[in-house]
Amino acid sequence: MNDLQDLHELYTDEEVMRYWSTAPHSQLQQTENTLRFMIDGGYNGRCDFVIDYAPPSTTPKLIGKLGVWDGHEIGFMLARPFWGKGHMKEAMTELLRDFWQREDMKAQDEIVADVDPRNGACIGLLKSFGFKETGYREKTWETHLGWCDSLDLKLQRPKD
């Protein structure tokens, strides 16, 4: 639980949480429950990771998270001070490389993403990795923003 406070900073930031499926956390206990779920989940350390940043001579700080949930759906978030600096692209490059090479993921032919169509940065990042749009659904999530639509994207397993 060493990352609790850093993770809580992410989950309480309204801009970071704008397109997340839940409202920003108002209590530390909510983030603790989320972290506990991550730690105890079957994908922890396999396809579900936190992103640490450690400039030379500093203590690492948790600045984000990303993962492939249920073995097929990607999701990610990053602290605002690190937006647009290539950190998520670097982390996703490693996640995807590792995911496709894992023996326990060999049966997976694709990774999908369910994105709020207003989240242009997320869509742009996914498309830069080869994700293709596969559909659009209206009123799929009721969140702190009200009803949200979904843009569906898919990345096929690379050919060896």
Q: What is the pLDDT of residues 41-70, one digit of tens each?
A: 766 556 788 899 988 878 889 999 999 887
Give the pLDDT confidence score for residue 6 in this predicted structure. 93
37: left (phi over 0), alpha (psi -120 to 50) or beta: alpha
- Print burial letters for 111-134: b (CB count within 10 Å at least 16), e (below 16): bebbbbbebeebbebbeebebeee
What CA–CA distance (Å, rounded) separates 144 from 135? 23
The predicted pLDDT at position 95 comes to: 92
Residue (of 48, 77, 73) closest to 64 by Cα position = 77
What separation, in Å, do the N-terminal and C-terminal C-alpha atoms of the chain show? 39
pLDDT at residue 112, rounded to an integer: 96
Per-residue pLDDT, 43: 63
Torsion of CA 129, 130, 133, 137, to 10 degrees: -30
Question: Is 64 within 8 Å of 122 (Cβ atoms)?
Answer: no
At 150, give phi and psi (nearest 5°): -130, 130
pLDDT at position 7 is 94
Q: What pLDDT sits at residue 46?
A: 63
CA distances from 110 to 14, 80, 113, 136 (A): 31, 29, 10, 18
Per-residue model confidence (pLDDT) at position 47: 78
Here the tokens at position 150 are: 């979904």
List the chain residues with pLDDT less than 70.
Answer: 1, 42-46, 160
What pLDDT score was predicted for residue 102? Answer: 83
